[in-house]
Amino acid sequence: MEKMRVSVGQSTLDFTGIRQKFVAEFLGNVHPRMGPGSALDAGCGVGNFSKFLADLGFNVIGVDGREENVKEAKRRYPEITYRRADVEDLRFAELGAFDLVLCFGLLYLLENPFRAIRNLHSLAGKILLIETMCIPSSETTMELLDEGHCKEQGLSYAAFYPSESTLVKMLYLAGFPFVYRFDRLPAHKLYTRTLWRKRLRTMLVASKVALTAPNLALVRDQLRTVPGPSDPWSTPLSRLRDFSTASLFRLRVLTARFVKPLRKKMDPAPSGDVDRRRE
């Protein structure tokens, strides 16, 4: 059992180290534009990423919804400011504004991820870097799941897992003018699709300023209107009916364009015109 705990702990440290190296590379590419400044580590856990950002030169505040995490983070890294705060709470936005907001491993543990993203948008002065579990689907969809009752999970043990497309849409709707995905994600199995499992996690950048950096690609929002072609309540039969109706209408319009000139040529001139020609 002890060997298993050491193995799990080492695996977690390795995963953290891989992500930190990836983030350091990204920030190094955008650093000349945003410069060192303030940073918020939302869902900081025991403070590992807060310490990482502080070492990069940021003035960091770490927040977490669990008091035990905040206490442990203060014990490990007393030089950093930590507070207890719930990212889903409307009062979360009262923390202020930060040049960089980091939200890693938190979003999928929440009941209300869209509310959390709106709060994060209000706090992100320039960039929000977000990492989360995601549903392997190209559709804008979410899954409401039951989380296990352990201290590493969310506060309510109910989780709302988004697809990457849903996360992109929420970021745009929250007000970010630019949302980017990485062409290449961190070199870890959780970010990789294999023959045995689909990709489990993603990482996105939402920004209030345009960014140009290697490995970064602007992603467009998927417009979904209801009712419409993406109406989730439609059936194959109703879609066939709508397609047929639209096709018949287009056919009528096309036919009218050709028939109207022919009618003008074939219709006899009014009697008044005939009389004038005779005169």
pLDDT in tens, 248-260: 877 777 777 776 6
Least confident of 53-62, 141-150, 160-169: 141-150
| Domain coordinates in residue numbering, the chain | 2-218, 236-278
pLDDT surpassing 50 at residue 123: yes
Average pLDDT over residues 118-125: 96
**Closest alpha carbon to 79 in 40, 50, 99, 101:** 50
Question: Average pLDDT in the 250-272 region?
Answer: 65
Helix axis angle, 164-174 to 113-123, nearest 10°:
50
pLDDT at 2: 45
CATH fold label, 2-218: Rossmann fold (3.40.50)
Cis peptide before 227 (omega within 30 of 0): yes
What is the SS3 assignment for 145? Answer: strand
- pLDDT tens profile 204-244: 999 999 998 899 999 988 777 666 666 767 778 877 887 78
Q: What phi and psi values does residue 97 have, to the nearest 5 degrees?
A: -120, 145
Residue 21 has pLDDT above 60, yes or no: yes
**5 confidence band (pLDDT: 50, 70, 90):** very low
Q: Is the pLDDT higher at 238 or at 129? A: 129
